[in-house]
Amino acid sequence: MPYPNPYQFMVSPNSPATPEGSASGAPKSINDVVVRLAGNSQDGIQTIGGFLARLAGRSAQEVMTYMTIPSTISGGPSIFQVRMGTGDILSSGDEADFLVAFYDHSYKNHIDHLRKGGILIYDTDHVEPELSPDYLAVGVPFTSATIEAVGGSAKEKGKNIFVLGLLCRLFDLDVAKLTGLIRERFAKFGEDVVRNTMLAFDAGYAWPAQNIREIYHKLATNDNDSGHPQITTDGNTAMTLGLITAGVRYGAGYPITPWSTIMETLRTELQKYGGLFVQAEDELGAIAYALGFAYAGHLSITGSSGPGLSLKMEALGWATMAELPLIIINVQRGGPSTGLPTNVEQSDLMQAIYGSHGDSPRVVLAPQNVEDCFYIALEAGRIAGEYSTPVIILTDQALSSRIEAFDEPDVDALMVTPDIDLTAKGADFKPYPIDALTRHAPPGTKIEGAPYPTVTGLEHDEHGHPSGNPAQHQKMTAKRRNKIKQLGKSLPRPEIHGDQDGDVLLVGWGSTFGPLREAVNRARKDGQKVGHIHLRHLNPLPPELERIFSRFRQVFVVEMNDQGLYGYGQLATLLRARYANPAIRSITKTDGLAFKVREILNGVAELSGSRYASVSGYPDV
């Protein structure tokens, strides 16, 4: 039933209307809050979430976001979830403390994600919520109040900024910083747009909300500020900045969700460094252009999502045979085919490692969070250059759009200045020596007394000249394999988080990092002996995994892909094949959504049996 007016609200009998500390009118600080904004993609809820996340980052707070967007051009239902706080924010939160519902479908589809005792804020112009003792419901006329404040032909277009102003008031956020962010965002559209935007913000900020402020209090600032300046950004932006820092100046690509923002940023930014990024006519052309840049002596980049990587595979086999330094980014999404283009999955691992025809070894890496998107790009550049090999980075849709705050990297110290080595080569020069790493001579290099080298997809001798000799092919196949094995021996041993031995070891890769850490922390508080390792290097695998596995009674690999015909996810299948350890089992899912902490804990309970029965009903956050 609808509420009689926007001021009427209902308090859960489990939550006092005036909590301790609020009677004086001074808001009591909270350390962690999860806000879920639910509406349509056309409403600009991603803009609100982005502002809140960036404000948290500029206020020395931890922040993590999660979003879903429709895959259709016409738009549709969408959410943006923000978790802000002063503790160690590892996931975007299992449940929301606040649900902001723009429409009736937003309310109906997401009310189950609001924790018991949480707060529903809804648009009285579009939503008629049901009465419930499980949450406090507050109606605010987002649409009509925005029209009244802004007027003109814009009508309700600023209601997202109205809601932003309302949230700013509720959490006693830094108005000066937030309005500064708003002006930065909209200044390019002209002063009239900025003025109307601020009218909507001020109307939301001025809306009577003391009833909610008495229930919920301001978000605490971080007293443990490290003193380092922070960056607040998404994974695709962090990856792009990492590529530039790694010395990438040339590349090519073709647009596909959710890779496209990396491509668009490289198109504008590489020019500033004297480089070039080409938008090709298709995926085949994109990797061909990138290989041309690599042949010319540059560390180059191409990328796509799963369907595009499939199209690149033949040329990627050529890159393996020619041993060229190339970075390939796959921002994974749900598959196969077009699949779930705006949802997350980790189902391209086998494709990345084994996708090409023939024996085609290549390096596969995966970042664990937004900050690591920057550093994994540096690692990919280092490996591609040092080992003269293609390197695939498996990021995913969740990391691509997630916003996190982290310490600003020392870019001046990390920046790699690319340099083409045109030093003259002597009579003993061989670009493909059997007993050493490949070292190419870029076109234009002077060769004195040695056969001029060639670069080809045919099997070849040590000078690169085509050869069909059976013994030569066997030696070159071993050469390409052994340099990847050599890399594996040099990798750092994974660190164990939590218990160093015990009942359960959780193993993950990619964007499952945060939920896994949080799951381990919660399980250990409950008295369980649980550890966690996260793999950034997936091919080759890092050393000492077998020794680590032997310390735990059970090893559960948590990943967002299907359990397959034999009951194991893709990484679990690789680990069982490599180590022949029957203790390795899988916790998987393919719903297109990131793992919740409780899903991991319940998976552990299910696989562990009665010993972990108490975890199966683990309370939600």
Point out the least confidently predicted range of 57-61, 272-276, 451-455: 57-61
Tokens of 228: 């380092």
Q: What is the spatial distance between Cα 207 and Cα 146, in angstroms, rounded to a whole number?
A: 11
pLDDT for residue 1 is more than 60:
no
The correct CATH number of 9-213 out of 3.40.920.10, 1.20.1370.10, 3.40.309.10, 3.90.420.10 is 3.40.920.10
Q: Coil, strand, or helix at residue 473?
A: helix
Ordered by start, the domain boundaries in the chain are 9-213, 231-414, 422-489, 497-615
Question: What is the sign, positive or negative, of the torsion defined by CA atoms of 252, 250, 323, 490?
Answer: negative
Span 291-306, average pLDDT: 97
pLDDT given at position 8: 34
Q: What is the pLDDT of residue 174?
A: 83
User: Is residue 179 predicted with pLDDT exceeding 60?
Assistant: yes
407-435 pLDDT, tens digit each: 999 999 999 999 998 999 999 999 999 99
Place 278 in a pLDDT band, splitting at 50, 70 and 90.
very high
For 546, phi then psi, to 5°, come to -60, -40
Which residues, in sequence order, are CB contacts of 419 under 8 Å at separation 6+? none
Q: Amino acid identity of 610?
A: S
| 497-615 to CATH, choices 3.40.50.2300, 3.20.20.210, 3.40.50.920, 3.40.50.300 | 3.40.50.920
Per-residue HEC secondary structure of 351-412 comes to HHHHCCCCCCCCEEECCCCHHHHHHHHHHHHHHHHHHCCEEEEEEEHHHHHCEEEEECCCHH
Average pLDDT over residues 112-131: 90
Residue 258, preceding peptide bond in cis (omega within 30° of 0): yes
- pLDDT of 231 reads 84
Asked if 495 and 547 touch (Cβ cutoff 8 Å), the reply is no
Say how far apart CA 372 and CA 366 lie, in whole Å. Answer: 9
d(CA 91, CA 113): 15
Would you say domain 231-414 falls under CATH 3.40.640.10? no
173 or 513, higher pLDDT: 513
Q: Do domains 231-414 and 497-615 have the same CATH topology?
A: yes
133 falls in which pLDDT band (50, 70, 90)?
Answer: confident
* Residue 58 reports pLDDT greater than 90: no
Per-residue pLDDT reduced to its tens digit, 446-474: 999 889 999 999 999 999 999 999 999 99
- Parallel/antiparallel/unpaired status of strands 114-123 and 230-234: unpaired
**pLDDT tens per residue, range 506-547:** 999 999 999 999 999 999 999 999 999 999 999 999 999 999
Please state, for a pLDDT cut of 90, what percent of the chain lies above it: 63
Query: Residue 214, Cα to own-chain centre: how many angstroms?
Result: 36
